Amino acid sequence: MNKENRNIRNNKGILGKYGLIVTLLMLFSIMIIFSAGKIVFSTEGKKWKEVGEKETVIRDRVIIPKRGNIYTHDYKLLASTEPIYSIYMDFWADGIKKDTLMKYVGDLSILLAEKFPDRSAAQYKNVILNGWDLREREAKKIAENRAKGTEERVPLRSRYVKIIRRDINYIELKEIRTFPFWNQRSNRSGLIAEERNARKKPFGNLATRTVGSVYKDIEKGGASGLELKYDSLLQGVSGVKYRQKIQGKWMDVIEEPAKEGWDIVTTLDADIQDISERALRNKLTETEAESGTAIIMEVKTGEIKGIVNLDRLSDGSYAEGNPNAFSYMNEPGSTFKTVTTMIALDDGVITPTDSFYVGNGLYQYNKRWVRDHYWRRGQDRGYLTVGEGMDVSSNVVMSKIVLKGYENKPEKFIDGIDRIGLRKQLKWDVPLSGIEGTSSIRYPNDKDNYWSKTTLPWMSFGYETQIPPIYLLMFYNGIANGGKMIKPFIAKQFVENGKVIMNIEAEVVNPKICKDTTLEEIQEMLKSVVVNGTAKVVGSDYFEIAGKTGTAMIAGGGGYSGYYVSFCGYFPAEEPMYTIFVGLRKPKGVPSGGGMAGMVFKNIAEQTYLRKVQLSVDDCRIDSTLIKEPEIKNGNSKKSLMLLSSLNLKVEKPQEDYDWVKVNLDSLEYKPVPIEINATLIPDVLGMGARDALYLLEKSGMNVSLNGSGKVVAQSLRPGQRLVKGTTISVTLR
């Protein structure tokens, strides 16, 4: 019994001890829960929560939306957005190991040099090892500061070291992630790919001034052209995301997705645009003009199918520059005579057969001489009818027409211009500022503009007024379109996710610019100008052209300097399809609206027509405006001259002997231009054949990778860069 009591007492003791332990544990748990609750719900708790989130969550990061694309009328890409990446190494990455880096840095550098040959393998290796050395020095400095108990911060210059000089695309990024050492997770390899959007133009510089540009930082939006005009639609809406660290890896969590920008479908036709650009560039090069403009517009719709603005650069080449089609403000010259004649016919001041005495082409009014272009010949032409005056582009006839009808009421003539619609202020697809993009035509007694006693007659033949090319194109298109004047436009559709959101149609500026009888008389006169007048050279074997030449002196510095030559018209004259304006600023040689601007018109018109109309074999004739001589590749001077001699082709003998030349062709002969070769710089092999290009590059000490056949159209390293022997250069032939 005593034994049982002892056992019972022992068991009770053990249970008591366990109970005490359980009680203590429960009290301890309650204290933990209480402390945790205190931390969570107190001010201190909020503080530690914020610290934790800073370590594991990065909030309110912006998602940049994809900028909308810009297309031709048949959905060929003119401008698109693609991601590009800047490549860095973070030498403070958590898992980066020195021994692994040293093991693979050589192989990594070799592959980088092969893929991106602007640095040698040795240079890549130095960049990477220098980054690691810098990291170790910084780590040592931080340790020393801690040992001293100071809080002095050390700038981590090795945190992000740029490894590849240029930005790369996504395909290249995928490839470099297979390279040794970089094929690990980013926290072990230190590889950082900083993504940003970039604007690409698949057609290169085709219509580049009209399409426009964006700022280098694409987030700032459009800088010019359509990119600027419709920036708010192209840009889209930004999204929001945050980054969260989960199991040591950062992951993006999207709170609100970005909304892509709208696409724009333009009226442009890539083929017509290319035709127009080549035709204008050839004539500008031939005449060494300062700039030129060509615009081609579909008559019925108002759609601009091609628009070219070329300015002369310091090296003599031409590139898209100012939006001259919309903004070039100059006195138009004789293309304005059609306006004068239309107003006078419509008001009943004249008939096409009325005649005016011109004599030898000189006429004095208010002590100022009106001169026809032939006045120096001393030829007495007697009387000219209105139609004949248009044919020979007589300033005397035009001035006498306006003086007959409007000398005492000049405002009535300006009212006629308003009746047509040429003084209306219009907004264009290309953004402009100030007076640019509007016509500047004075009104009598207007306080803001001086109206002299000779303003009216000089205005009749295109002086003392400023009209940009787009207005003249619009006016002549109104004549071609049965009197209905519509505003030329470029943006045709706005598309979101493949669905058309908005269609744009031409704005009618004036449903009827003149009476039907006046329109018929003007149309006949414009056809006669090409058949019998100053634009004979513009006539085509394929179809009839109607139009008017223009030659105007350019005002500046209190006088006149150089000429602006132009031609505006439409084709085919009987059933018009397209209206074209061509203008050349300050061409060298004898200025001629027909022989210069008119020949560009003819070239564009014939090539466009042949692409749009099916002709029989008998109808196909050689285009006299096209170059028939063969193109000669750039290369060895002696071989090039030998080839030209064997083909009996006319060549200008070079003044000095050069080993390497570019062979240019103008309208008269071939001209060898020397190619300077510098042993310390990468040579220019563009335009050469494979043999010459390979010889020059390998002689320079470079490794060459040839792709394609024909002549060199691209080289991966820019000519004139400092030469690094052993570098690999990729050369594309076509």
| pLDDT above 60 for 400 | yes
Give the CA-trace dihedral at 457, 460, 464, 469, to 10 degrees: -170
Among 727, 631, 638, which residue's Cα sits nearest to residue 683?
727
- CA distances to 316, 650, 685 from 660, in Å: 20, 19, 10
Interatomic CA distance for residues 392 and 487, integer angstroms = 30
Half-sphere exposure of 253 (CA within 13 A, CB side): 12
Q: How many domains does the chain have?
A: 5
Please write the tens of the pLDDT for every residue from 147-205.
Answer: 887 766 777 887 889 999 999 988 999 999 999 999 998 889 999 998 888 888 888 88
Interatomic CA distance for residues 658 and 519, integer angstroms = 61
Interatomic CA distance for residues 733 and 48, integer angstroms = 64
* pLDDT given at position 98: 93
Please write the tens of the pLDDT for every residue from 574-583.
Answer: 999 999 999 9
On whether both 647 and 681 belong to a single domain, the answer is no
CB-CB contact of 243 with 251 (8 Å): yes
* pLDDT given at position 228: 92
Establish if 55 belongs to a structural domain. Answer: no
Instruction: Specify the DSSP element, H or E, that contains 661.
Output: strand 660-665
Interatomic CA distance for residues 333 and 554, integer angstroms = 10
> Which of the four pLDDT bands, split at 50, 70 and 90, describes residue 618?
low
Establish if 395 belongs to a structural domain. Answer: yes
On whether both 393 and 455 belong to a single domain, the answer is yes
Interatomic CA distance for residues 332 and 566, integer angstroms = 8
DSSP 414-458: HHHHHHHTTT-----SS---TTTTS-B---TT-TTS---TTHHHH
On whether both 291 and 431 belong to a single domain, the answer is yes
* pLDDT given at position 5: 58
Interatomic CA distance for residues 597 and 334, integer angstroms = 13
Establish if 424 belongs to a structural domain. Answer: yes
On whether both 671 and 682 belong to a single domain, the answer is no
In this predicted structure, which of 245-254, 388-397, 593-602 has the lowest mean pLDDT? 245-254
Establish if 36 belongs to a structural domain. Answer: yes
> Which of the four pLDDT bands, split at 50, 70 and 90, describes residue 734?
confident
Establish if 51 belongs to a structural domain. Answer: no
* pLDDT given at position 621: 57
Please provide the average confidence, as pLDDT, over all residues in the chain: 87
Q: What is the CATH number of the domain that holds 116?
A: 3.90.1310.10
Give the tokens for residue 229: 């005009």
On whether both 594 and 638 belong to a single domain, the answer is no
The CB density around residue 546, as the number of other CB atoms within 10 Å, is: 27
Cis status of the peptide bond prior to 654, with omega within 30 of 0: no
Interatomic CA distance for residues 249 and 260, integer angstroms = 28
CB-CB contact of 522 with 479 (8 Å): yes
> Which of the four pLDDT bands, split at 50, 70 and 90, describes residue 39?
low
Question: Residue type at 101?
Answer: L
Give the CA-trace dihedral at 572, 577, 579, 580, to 10 degrees: -80
| pLDDT above 60 for 615 | no
Give the tokens for residue 61: 């990061």
The CB density around residue 288, as the number of other CB atoms within 10 Å, is: 12
SS (H, E, C) 145-161: HHHHCCCCCCCCCCCCE
| pLDDT above 90 for 298 | yes
Average pLDDT for 69-83: 91
Give the tokens for residue 366: 């208010």
According to DSSP, the residues that pair with 86 across neighbouring strands are 194
According to DSSP, the residues that pair with 670 across neighbouring strands are 651, 665
According to DSSP, the residues that pair with 549 across neighbouring strands are 567
Q: Is 435 left (phi over 0), alpha (psi -120 to 50) or beta?
A: alpha
| pLDDT above 90 for 374 | no
According to DSSP, the residues that pair with 311 across neighbouring strands are 291, 319
| pLDDT above 70 for 219 | yes
| pLDDT above 90 for 483 | yes
Among 186, 187, 188, 195, which residue's Cα sits nearest to residue 168?
195
The CB density around residue 452, as the number of other CB atoms within 10 Å, is: 11
On whether both 162 and 143 belong to a single domain, the answer is yes
Give the tokens for residue 78: 């003119």
* pLDDT given at position 606: 95
> Which of the four pLDDT bands, split at 50, 70 and 90, describes residue 124?
very high
Q: What is the CATH number of the domain that holds 473?
A: 3.40.710.10
| pLDDT above 80 for 244 | no
On whether both 134 and 151 belong to a single domain, the answer is yes
Give the tokens for residue 231: 């920036």
> Which of the four pLDDT bands, split at 50, 70 and 90, describes residue 111?
very high
Sign of CA dihedral 591, 592, 593, 596: negative
- For the chain, give the percent of residues with pLDDT over 70: 89
**DSSP letter, residue 655:** S
* 116 vs 700, more confident: 116
- CA distances to 360, 473, 675 from 715, in Å: 61, 41, 16
Q: What is the CATH number of the domain that holds 710?
A: 3.30.10.20
Look up tokens 């040429």; give the residue. Answer: 422
Domain C-terminal end among 216, 237, 266: 266
**DSSP letter, residue 218:** G
Question: Residue type at 707?
Answer: N
| pLDDT above 70 for 514 | yes
Strand order in the sheet with 291-298: 318-320, 304-312, 291-298, 578-585, 559-571, 546-556
Establish if 53 belongs to a structural domain. Answer: no
Helices (H) and strands (E) in the chain, counts: 21, 30
On whether both 240 and 379 belong to a single domain, the answer is no
Give the CA-trace dihedral at 588, 593, 597, 603, to 10 degrees: -130
Interatomic CA distance for residues 66 and 82, integer angstroms = 8
- Alpha carbon of residue 215 to chain centroid: 12
**Residue 705: which residues within 8 A CB-CB, separation 6 or more?**
728, 729, 730, 731
- For the chain, give the percent of residues with pLDDT over 90: 54
Interatomic CA distance for residues 536 and 8, integer angstroms = 133
On whether both 259 and 355 belong to a single domain, the answer is no
CB-CB contact of 269 with 72 (8 Å): yes
On whether both 615 and 643 belong to a single domain, the answer is no
Give the 3-state secondary structure of residue 388: helix
Question: Residue type at 596?
Answer: M
CB-count exposure of residue 403 (10 Å: 0-12, 13-18, 19+)? middle
Domain C-terminal end among 266, 285, 306: 266
Give the 3-state secondary structure of residue 689: strand
Please write the tens of the pLDDT for every residue from 318-359.
Answer: 999 889 999 998 999 999 999 999 999 999 999 999 999 999
Sign of CA dihedral 535, 541, 542, 543: positive
First to last CA, the chain: 114
| pLDDT above 60 for 490 | yes
Average pLDDT for 47-64: 59
Interatomic CA distance for residues 110 and 117, integer angstroms = 10
In this predicted structure, which of 473-487, 593-607, 642-656 has the lowest mean pLDDT? 642-656
On whether both 668 and 681 belong to a single domain, the answer is no
Look up tokens 């219009």; give the residue. Answer: 426
* pLDDT given at position 146: 82
| pLDDT above 90 for 293 | yes
Interatomic CA distance for residues 212 and 430, integer angstroms = 8
Q: Which domain holds residue 731?
A: 676-734
In this predicted structure, which of 168-182, 236-250, 470-484, 495-509 has the lowest mean pLDDT? 236-250
Give the 3-state secondary structure percentages of the chain, helix then strand then coil, rounded to 5. 40, 25, 35
Establish if 697 belongs to a structural domain. Answer: yes
Give the 3-state secondary structure of residue 710: coil
CB-CB contact of 671 with 691 (8 Å): no
Question: Residue type at 196?
Answer: R
CB-count exposure of residue 555 (10 Å: 0-12, 13-18, 19+)? middle
Interatomic CA distance for residues 670 and 651, integer angstroms = 5
Interatomic CA distance for residues 38 and 316, integer angstroms = 78
On whether both 458 and 482 belong to a single domain, the answer is yes
Establish if 46 belongs to a structural domain. Answer: no
Please write the tens of the pLDDT for every residue from 522-562.
Answer: 999 999 999 999 999 999 999 999 999 999 999 877 778 89
In this predicted structure, which of 186-195, 301-310, 620-629, 677-686 has the lowest mean pLDDT? 620-629
| pLDDT above 60 for 705 | yes
> Which of the four pLDDT bands, split at 50, 70 and 90, describes residue 56?
low
Among 545, 564, 544, which residue's Cα sits nearest to residue 553?
564
Interatomic CA distance for residues 727 and 723, integer angstroms = 8
* pLDDT given at position 58: 58
Interatomic CA distance for residues 207 and 309, integer angstroms = 8
CA angle 656, 657, 661 (to 5 degrees): 105
Average pLDDT for 492-496: 95
* pLDDT given at position 136: 92
| pLDDT above 60 for 624 | no
Q: What are phi and psi of 376, to 5 degrees?
A: -70, -20
* pLDDT given at position 436: 77
According to DSSP, the residues that pair with 365 across neighbouring strands are 368
**Residue 360: which residues within 8 A CB-CB, separation 6 or more?**
375, 377, 378, 379, 380, 381
